[in-house]
Homo-oligomer: A and B are copies of this chain.
């Protein structure tokens, strides 16, 4: 028998996205967001949903680009800080001593020290209520060599991305390999 928990967004796991943007004057900013995910394979698209009150919301509308990046577990302090303060009042790169890198393919910066970043051009947006969903077309992905496995693909155990838990608001890491997709269920 299941119990009712009410109308809540209890989807697990949620990602921890570090979203890089420029303001109209070209100042780099970055904020942390967990409302987002993949939404199309061709064209490759991802979504990030933000409150209108955020600095990043304004920046995306004005510059038409953003870079969802993925940090590793070891960088949790910086990631959390990026969600605690606003770029309106603080230079988050200076405060964390991290380095903004200008994307060569979209009009947005990303964090040099974080291992993976998706460089996105704004494709569409829709107001859903408290949050506005931005859909970005992935123009390129940049990755550190340290997260690439022997087969040439991103290895999640090398990347060690953070997981956000909506109900308790914690960060978790990634656990063990469980099975292969399109294979584990073949002998049902």
Q: Are A39 and B128 in contact (CB under 8 A)?
A: yes
28 A-B residue contacts at CB 8 Å? A5-B142, A7-B139, A8-B141, A9-B46, A10-B141, A11-B36, A11-B38, A12-B154, A36-B37, A39-B133, A40-B133, A45-B129, A47-B133, A77-B187, A78-B185, A82-B185, A84-B186, A151-B168, A153-B167, A162-B178, A163-B163, A163-B175, A170-B178, A170-B180, A171-B177, A171-B178, A174-B174, A175-B176
A89 within 8 A of B: no
Contact A3-B148, Cβ < 8 Å, known A15-B12, A78-B185: yes
> What residues of chain B lie closer than 8 Å to A46, measured between beta carbons?
9, 11
Could you tell me if B173 and A169 are in contact, using CB atoms closer than 8 angstroms?
Answer: no
In the bound assembly, the distance between CA atoms of A177 and B46 in angstroms comes to 26
When each residue 100-137 of chain A gets 1 if its CB lies under 8 Å from chain B and 0 otherwise, what string results? 00000000000000001110000110101111010101
Expressed in whole angstroms, the Cα–Cα distance for A161 and B17 within the complex equals 19
A166 on interface, CB distance cutoff 8 Å: yes
Is A30 engaged at the interface, CB distance under 8 Å to the other chain? Answer: no
Do A185 and B81 touch (CB < 8 A)?
yes
A149 interfacial contact with B, CB 8 Å: yes
Given contacts A70-B12, A128-B135, contact A176 B177 (CB under 8 A): no
1/0 per position for A146-160, CB-CB distance to B under 8 A? 001101011110010
Closest to A127 in B: B40
> Nearest residue in B to A135 (C-beta to C-beta)?
B128
With a 10 A CB-CB cut-off, give which of A47, A77, A84, A137 has the most chain B CB atoms. Answer: A47
Q: A163-B163, A184-B171 are in contact. Are A129 and B15 (CB under 8 A)?
A: no
